[in-house]
Amino acid sequence: MRIGIIGLGRMGGNIAVRLTRHGHDVVVHDRTAAVTAATVERSEKGRATGVDSVEALVKGLEGDTHRVVWVMLPAGAITEACVKQLGTLLGKGDVIIDGGNSYYKDDVRRAEELAAKGISYVDVGTSGGVWGLERGYCMMYGGPEEAADYIDPILAALAPGKGDVPVTPNRDATNLDPRAEQGYLHCGPSGSGHFVKMIHNGIEYGMMQAFAEGFDIMKSKNSPVLAEGERFDLNMADIAEVWRRGSVVSSWLLDLTAEALAKSGELSEFSGEVADSGEGRWTIEAAIEENVPAPVMTAALFTRFRSRSGNNFAEKILSAQRFGFGGHVEQK
């Protein structure tokens, strides 16, 4: 199958390369020509074609039964402009995929506008960060059933597959989607994919914050404010490592924390000023609209705000985790 990909940053470029490794052809474009060239170079020989414009990318898909373009750009105005442009270049039966972190209400609006032209819009919440090239991407997507089925070979190639994850008991029920066990899931109509990914990221905020606070408490156990007999000089790297081995809290986030602490116990290379990319805010907004209490995720979001006006070891843990899974660099 052939697909166009616009935006070849940390994830877009790796998505293109992974698809070529699984026998698919890609037409790729990035606003920086050198990035486009590098992606073609990393791809399987003969399976990637680099172009210098969105128009050339669409032209490069001519002859396909349904032209499919994957947009992997920052959420907001940049993605909005690209989708609008594609809406003027594509036609009936074609498919636009937004694989970024767009706000789900924007997806609902775009899908309605594009449907009037006969263009299908699929929103794909994509998790996997800089590790997706090798591990695969967990994907939650929304859109018309017909379009979702058509792009299934693309999503199946990008997904991690069952791997060595233990089988969940009772997954043979008829109302359960077997694709979920492969690491990708059609969640419902347009907007539902990014909504599920949005909540995923809100949960991520809370999990990261819990680890960060716990390690900060342990690191401070040697504080002079405590009675001398109650002070412990604990090794953060060793604690993170032992928790990885059979602990209830073992997870990829803990793996990343252990890796960062083994490299630099004080995490001095991180500023501790933690950014938020939007999904946490949108999750809290959704909770408010639905009258659903979300105190943990709300507190985690507000802690990130506070980190930018003076920070501590907990925020450095968060920075290390964000760098580990997504390559996010927060300068010291």
Active site residue ranges: 197, 204
The residue to which tokens 């066990």 are assigned: 181
What beta strand segments (E) does the chain contain?
A: 2-6, 25-29, 48-50, 68-71, 95-98, 120-127, 138-142, 184-188
SS3 176: coil
Q: What are phi and psi of 157, to 5 degrees?
A: -70, -35
The residue to which tokens 């933690």 are assigned: 274
Residues 326/130, Cβ–Cβ less than 8 Å:
yes
**From CA 33, how far away is CA 112, in angstroms rounded?**
33
- Strands in 68-71's sheet, in edge-to-edge order, are 48-50, 25-29, 2-6, 68-71, 95-98, 120-127, 138-142, 184-188
- What are 274-277's contacts with CB under 8 Å, separation 24+? 274/303, 274/304, 274/307, 274/308, 274/311, 274/315, 274/318, 274/319, 274/322, 274/330, 275/304, 275/322, 275/328, 275/330, 276/205, 276/301, 276/304, 276/305, 277/75, 277/101, 277/201
DSSP string, 138-152: EEEEES-HHHHHHTH
Between the CA of residue 237 and those of 243, 264, 320, what are the distances in Å?
10, 9, 13
Please choose, from the candidates 234, 205, 204, the residue with its C-alpha nearest in 3D space to the C-alpha of residue 219: 234
Residue 223 CB contacts under 8 Å (≥ 6 apart), including other chains: 231
Please choose, from the candidates 273, 328, 277, the residue with its C-alpha nearest in 3D space to the C-alpha of residue 129: 328
